Each structure stands twice: as structure tokens, then as C-alpha cells.
Structure 1
Amino acid sequence: MCRRASGPPSLLGQLLHDNVQYQGTCATAQFRNYRLSSAFQPIFGLAHRRPVGYEALLRASDETGMAVSPLQVFRSAATDEGTVHLDRTCRLLHAHNYQPLASREHWLFLNINPRVVVEGTRYGPFFSELLRRHQLAPAQVVVEILENEITDEGLLADSVNYYKELGCPVAIDDFGAGHSNFDRILRLAPDMVKLDRGLLQQARHTPTARRMLPNLVSLLHEAGCMVVLEGIEDETEALLALEAGADFAQGYFFARPAAAQHISTLATAAFDRLSRRARDDLHQETSRRNAMLQPIIDAFQRCSADYGAGAALALAAAHLVGTHEVLRCYVLDGDGIQIGSNVTPPGAEHTLHPRYAPLRSTTGSDWSGRPYFRAALAEPGALQITRPYFSITDAAMNVTLSIAMRRDGALHVVCCDIRYP
């Protein structure tokens, strides 16, 4: 149930309250010719399977009652002063209307207009007073900043630091759109990054983008950021979010925006379907991979046994490199240095594109940093299979089989590269 904030208002607070109309227990506001109200959309923890927060969204209508976009409303503000006034009115409205959902176990996500991020301090303090008036601890409020629209690096950093020092988590919104870059993530060190929906769309339709999305999430995790995938509209996109390792998800698939009193947070059925589908997909993918790899694994293990018994690699690998999709077989010493040249299928040297010719010779190359070498070294005698990765030998996606063994008393690692379909 919404409640009116108590306490004497500041001059700014009084000005904003003059624009707010309280209808029963909740509020709307007037700006120019637009009627403003709040809607809230849950943000779900993919591991928690429940809402961890709610993003406040502006809803507006014109004099005829027809819905208009928030962008149109902000365009009507025209000046910096008008934009600051409108932005603060929206945040006041959202903070008041959020009260039925307010809880220490949930975050309130509040968007701040980019112009206000850099210009707001010129118009006096506001935010800390807003939190006090509505009994919101700073730690409960995630400040969303659309950083790609802000070109002044110094002002952007100052604004982010202001909210951090206040105690609010900071989220960079729509990362991956416009001029977003990791340099800013490293400098600003936000608590969360919300990935632009365009990245999800690309992952849905492009295999390369789908492989990249989990790596992008992993890089953001390495930078100390939690990751939100937004704009998830169906089960396929929800599965992509799970596959990518995102922490949080937001979109129509889970719940549509609504007034606080009418919001739906029940997504149990959706999560149950997701779990079943993810398990089924993993089982099918594993079965397909095993069906494809098993003949190669059998040939690779025969090759490794023959090589360990003293056969020349070219002879030991003759059957292996004749297997469909095998690109090459080679041996590393105990330090990861390649011994001799690759054993490849007949005519393979003609399949490498001329622009990659400088990469063709790998004798003496140091592969000690590669996962297939390190995994084999950690567990001698056990077959290792990598995830798909980018191989510079042919500038393509590969899977590598490897096994460490002793030959003539020295540690060798036999490797086989397979074309990833």
C-alpha cells in the first residue's frame, strides 16, 4: 500500500510535490500537457528463481488520454532545467509509488536521464533527500546510468562516484550499444552492467555472437560486475541468458511492467519450463557431440597408444587424420613446445586460406598456455576434451583432444584438433 512521505519538504521538494496528485494511496504527476505515472518490472535472479528487484518505468499520456513514449515527454522538456525538473519529478513519483514493493530483500532500479547525470548538481541536492523522505536506504536503490550518451568522462566519473559514496549500487545501462567500451567499465567500476537487447538478438540469430555472449558475461564478471540481460521476450531468449551465465534477467517472458499493486512476481512455471528445457537441450547436445566425437576419440586413443609404444607420429596418426573433421595431430613436450610438424589429412595444406599462410608452420611453437596442454598435464593418462575455442593455426573454431603420456622416459602430450561445426 502506497504511503505519503512525511517530514517538512525542502523548496525543491515542495516544488515537486506541487506537481504530484495523490489519488487514494498512490500518485500521478503533471508535466507540461502530460500525465505521468509509474510502472514496475521485476528483475529476476536466474539462480534465485525470484525477483531481486524492480525497475521503475515512466508511463505517460497526453491530454486525450493516449499513451506517449517517455522519450517524447523528455523531448518536451527542451532545456537542461526542464529536463532536471522532469527527471526529479519522475524519481519522486517512482519512489512514492514503489512503497507497496519496498523491501530490504529487493532493489529499486531508478533510471537517471544522462543530461541530469552531468548537469543535475547545478540545481542543488535532491537524491539523498528523496531517499530519506521515502525511507529508502541507499543500498536498496540501484542507480541506472545510460553511459553511452555521456561524452564528458570527468563528469560521468564524478556522478558515478557520488552515487557510490552515497551507498547506492550503480548499474551501467544498455552496454553494448553505441560507443560502449570496456575501458569505461574498468574506470567506472559499476556494480552491475545491463546488456543491450541487441546483443541478445545477435546471439539468437548468429552462431558467432552466441559463442561470444558467455565470454562477454565472463569478462564483465572478471571486472567485478554483476550482469543483467534485459528485453527477454520468449523462452529461447531466456535459455540464451542461462547459457551465457547472466546473473539477472528482465523481460516480458518473466513479467510485464505494471503498477506496484498489480505486479505479478510468480514465474515459477516459467522457471520450471526453463530448467526442463535446459536439461533436455544439454542432454541432446551431449548426445550429438558424443555421436560425432566417439569415432574420433577411438581413433585418437589408438593413435596415442601406438605413439606411446614408440611408433612415429605420422604412422600412429595415419588412421586418425583420415577421420572426418580431424584437422591435425601433433605432439608437445613437457614444457608445451611442439615437437616436429603437424600430421594432417592429405591435401590439407591447400585448404588453408592464403591470408593465413604465415600461421601454417607450427614446429617449435609454444602452446604451454593452452587449456588442452594444461589439462593434460594436470591428469596424465586421462583423455581431455576442450570446449570450442578459436585456433590461430587456421583462424577457426576448433575442439582439441589431448592426453599426456611418457615416451622413452620423457613426458609428451599428444593432441588432435577437430573442426567445430
Structure 2
Amino acid sequence: MPLVLFEDHHWRNLAPLTLTRATFDVKAGARTFFEECVYANNPPNSAMVRKHLEKVTAERHGCKVNPGSFDSDAIFVNGLLHPATLDFSRLSQVSHTFAITSGGRLLAGRLPKKGAEHLQKCAFEGKPVNTKSLAVDKTTNVESSEGLLAEPWDLIRVLENALAMQTVAEQGSEIPGARIIGANPVVAEGANVEEGTVLDARQGSIYIGAGASVAPCRITGPAYIGMQTQVKQFAKIEKSYVGRDCRVAGEIEHSIISDYSNKAHDGFVGHSYVGEWANLGAMTTTSDLKMTYGNIKMGRDTGLNKVGSFFSDMSKTSIGTLVYSGRRIGVSSHLHGLVARDVPSFTIYGSGIGSKNAELELASAIETQRKVMPRRGQSMSKAYEQMMKDVFLATAQERKKAGVRKGKFSI
């Protein structure tokens, strides 16, 4: 039975993380929802995404993207819905068209031709799906909606449980010289874990990928360290995901550090999300708790009293950057000093050191990324470069509204 993942309009809620990737390509723990489908031996046959993400999404997955027509037996699944909340085998046996909805959002369904065309048009334009117009049997599935993401802080809310499931193993590995505490399995086959490392598996399992290099440090589970990643001496990583080919040090607590990103020096990142190709300078620290111990607000109440910040792909911080809780950091933004506000994409943020915020030139952002990618054995494709150009144009009004000026940045 063909599976089609689609984006719904809640990509806006998760922006700016979703400016450079489809909703199903945002990490929810150690895996994206696309990767969860593959892990469950049910890889998506095709996907529906916003126009500017078509080619880069096809490159990432090798599947059809916005193909225009779909198999009449296809099951359409929201890219922000955890696949495990659906009984896909049972849905595949339903012979008639149907739609599972929640709060006006389409969760999953088998749609007639016109319904599929409407869904693709909405995904392509990034607009809400009119579930009332779908001429199918509809049902509200409360159980399924529990696995539906709606806001960026949902990624923090579900992180520990997600990691607990994603690091499950039947048995651990032999790790000479490391001290393992607790009964949960610790897997580190093909990784170099140096003597003196403490692996605390009392609250969850720990997975360390092949080719990873771990200097003496402390890692508390559930935790996932990606392949080829370097964990530096005296690092403290707790209940977090660190992706492949990263460089990390200092303290990382209850956070996601995506592939190819650096936090290679002391500093604290807590209850935060860091996108791909980000670089956090020495002593960069995020706040994740108010002095009043009240809930963090990001436009509205998150319902959580611990929320850090959300750094988009290619964002960077200078030495000694301090970021208030609940901040959204835009694509290819450069941060200096104290950051107490959201930062638009392609912005050099200098307010925290007494300078005026300036627009980062697109050519400079592309050239920097072109230099960075080969350092991890990658190269910039034409699709990736065009995606950066499209995001730059799409976020121009955001910069204008925030008073970001054009011109040279100076300290």
C-alpha cells in the first residue's frame, strides 16, 4: 500500500526550523517522522511539500515529490504525525475513502482524485487543508492526535520519551575502560569510547554510533550520539540527541543537536533544538528556566517551565553569546552578545553588543555554506543553493518588520 507524507499549514508554527526542510524532516528525538516510517519498514513512496522544498526533499530521500497524480489506494499521512500512532496495516485494509481528522487538521486518509489534488495544492502553497470539502467518511481519532506535533516546544516535550524508544536494544556492548551505571543497555559498537567515560544508563539506554569518538566525559540516558561525532573531554550530555558528524563539548541537557553541527566548546545548551550546519561559539549559553519558575511563553504559553531556544539550519553564534529562553533563531543568522528577542533569518544580530542589526548578504551566506560543507565530506547542490535563495526572499518582510537594515555590519 503506497504511503504519501504531506505537509500541513502547521509548518508555520514550527518556523523557522521548517523554512529549510519539510515538516517530516524535523528531528523528533533521534529520528524524523520520515525516518520513523523507514525504520518501521514502511518507507514513503512520495511526498507533498511546499514549492521551494521540492528538489531538496527529493535529493534527501530519493522519492517522488509533488508528482501530481497518486495511486487510488494510497494512504496520505500528515508529516507531523508520529507513524506509530496509526495502525497502518489496518488502514490499508479499508477499501473505501476516509479521513481521520483532529481539530480541523487532516491526520491521515485515503482520498478520491479531487481530494488528493486539493491536498497537494494546499501542501504546495503551504496553506490549510479544508477538511470539510473532502467528500469522504470522516472520523475524529483522539488517540492518533496525541502523536501530532503542533508547536516547536512539542519537540522538547516528547524528546525524552522518543529517545527512550529509539535507543532500545536487546543487549549492550562491551566497552573496556568506561564505567557503565544502571541496567539499561549501552550500545557503542564501532565507536571509540575512551577510558574514564561514565555512561549513566539508569534512566534510559545510550546509543553511540559507529566511528564516534568519545573522550572522558559523562553521558546520561536516554541519549543518542550519532556516527562519526566527536564528544570532547569533560562534556556532560544528558537525555539528548547529538546527530552524525557533530563536534560537541560543554553541557548539553534535554536537547537536539542536528547533523553536521558544532558546539565544540564550553557553554550550556538546555531544552533546545539546534538545526543542521549550525555553529555555536565558545561559551554560548541558552537559558531554559525563568527566575520565577513560571511557564515559558513563545507568543503564547508553552505549558512548560523549561524551554530553551530553537536554532535554525546554518545559524551561528559568536564567542560568549547568551540567548534568552523561548527564542526562535532564523536560518543563517549570526548572533552576538545578549539575545533577548527572536532573530529573523539572514540577520546579523548585534543589538546585544550595542550595534545595529544588519541583513546578512545572501552571497555571503551561500559562500560560507559552500566552504563549510566539504569539512564534513558534503557539497552544496544546486537545489540546496536555490532553496537558500528562496528562503532569503521569503523572509525579507520579516527582516523589514524587525527593523533589520541593509548595509555593512560593524561592531
- Structure with the greater alpha carbon radius of gyration: 1
Report the TM-score when normalising by structure 1.
Answer: 0.21
